[in-house]
Amino acid sequence: MKIKLHDKYFTSFISAREIDAALDEMAVKIAADIGDVVPVFIGVLNGSFMVVSDFVKKYPKPCEVSFVKLASYEGVESTEDIQRLIGLNENVVGRTVVILEDIIDTGNTLECIYDIFNNKGVKDLRIATLFHKKEAFRKDLKIDYIGIEIPNKFIVGYGLDYNGLGRDLPEVYQIKNTQRMTNIVLFGKPGAGKGTQAEFLKTKYNLVHISTGDVFRFNMKNDTELGKLAKSFIDEGQLVPDSVTIDMLQAEVEKNTDANGFIFDGFPRTTAQAEALDAFLDSKNMELSGTVALEANDEILIERLLERGKISGRADDQDEAKIRNRFEEYNEKTAPLIDFYSTQEKFYSVNGIGTIKDITERLSTVIDALKVEA
Ligand code: IMP
Ligand code: MG
């Protein structure tokens, strides 16, 4: 699941159930260590309100609960200056105090807490945190209890916010770092000029063009296993099965790990493929920048294709009925992708009628705008 808070995107990271399990474990462990002494659990506001509330419900023995406030955080980078502590009204002299934190990041806040509580005559001071970013922690201070170790990436939810938003979420989301790649899907019916335009865009933006059709034709020409399989479908104007296409695409992306980005042409063709592509890109920490449909009228496309068929000899370009069959297939299966990508605010339509140069310019306008946004 993906959410947007202010200008940033976040994806599901730690479920409510995992949080619950971590708190269960912490409660049992702390109770075992402390024994029958009645501790004062002190939450550090604002972030810790959820942790404290859920934790003390799980704590198996009597305890006291209080909160302090110590604002230290603005935006997504931990700031160096720590402010003073407010809100501690309890007398903690001679008590067992357990500081309950939502998250310990650089440790600046923790250091401040140590300084303050070390001067308050506390008998036994312990630190517990639900989340800990080990790689970001820069202090030589003891953390007694850690619920879940997390990588050094910004998270929200379960009390944690990004500029005020996200504290209310019952689970935790991790920030999606904005990629520097430009990954584009080019849509269009056969004959719309995807291949021609991809050639120009590839050079202009230094992208790798992955045309599923070209890769299949290469395999067919060389009579590979994949080629023979693909040929049986393509000759009938049918789509090649997803599993074959996805494996091939994955191999192409993996061959070009240092690319500025990719132009996917001929894939995805169905919503199922679009979901598979999203999942695959996500696993590589990549995402689509945008999808562009080259729009053109059917009769113009048929004319273009029949011309192309005469020259190339491509069987599927020489028969008007087969061409219309491919258009049907496009309308039926690919058109729903417009909705799919519109929902993600990643769909753009470009007029595919005109000179090659004009169309390249229209496409460039869309792509340049994508790059500005990223
Ligand atoms: P530290 O002082 O760097 O350890 O940061 C502690 C405080 O920074 C926490 O109490 C949070 O308020 C905030 N913080 C640190 N990391 C995150 C995060 O990933 N998301 C939201 N807030 C964070
Ligand atoms: Mg905090």
d(CA 93, CA 126): 14
| pLDDT value of position 358 | 95
Report the pLDDT averaged over residues 53-66: 97
Choice among 126, 194, 231, 322 that is catalytic: 194
Question: Which ligand 1 atom sits nearest the alpha carbon of residue 82?
Answer: 2
Q: Which domains are seen in the chain, by residue range?
A: 2-175 (3.40.50.2020), 184-373 (3.40.50.300)
- Tell me which residues have their CB within 5 A of the ion that is ligand 2: 44, 47
Report the pocket of ligand 1 as residue ranges, CB < 6 Å: 47, 72-73, 78, 102-110, 154-156, 160
Q: Is the pLDDT of residue 304 over 80?
A: yes
- Active-site residue 138, yes or no? no
Give the count of beta carbons closer than 10 Å to the beta carbon of residue 203. Answer: 10
d(CA 123, CA 299): 86
3-state SS assignment for residue 11: strand
Confidence band, pLDDT 50/70/90 cuts, at residue 73: very low
Contact 256, 262 (CB under 8 A): yes
3-state SS assignment for residue 127: strand
Ligand 1, pocket-test mutation among 74, 160, 174, most atoms within 8 A of CB:
160
Please tell me the distance between residue 288's alpha carbon and the centre of ligand 1 in angstroms.
30
Give the number of whichever ligand sits closest to the CA of residue 156. Answer: 1
Q: Which helix (H) or strand (E) holds 261?
A: none
Candidates 63, 57, 153, 61; CA nearest to 105 is 153
- Active-site residue 269, yes or no? yes
Q: Chain-centre distance of CA 41, in angstroms?
A: 36
| DSSP codes of every residue in 295-313 | E--HHHHHHHHHHHHHHH-
How confident is the model over 8-45, as pLDDT tens digits? 889 999 999 999 999 999 999 999 999 999 999 999 99
Ligand 1, pocket-test mutation among 103, 104, 135, 138, most atoms within 8 A of CB:
103
Confidence band, pLDDT 50/70/90 cuts, at residue 224: confident
Peptide bond into 268 cis (omega under 30): yes
Residue with CA nearest ligand 1 atom 10: 103
Q: Is the pLDDT of residue 119 over 70?
A: yes
- Active-site residue 326, yes or no? yes
Q: Is the pLDDT of residue 97 over 60?
A: yes
d(CA 153, CA 164): 18
How confident is the model over 131-183, as pLDDT tens digits? 999 988 989 999 999 999 999 889 999 999 999 999 999 999 999 866 678 99
How confident is the model over 337-351, as pLDDT tens digits? 999 999 999 999 999
Question: Which ligand 1 atom sits nearest the alpha carbon of residue 102?
Answer: 10
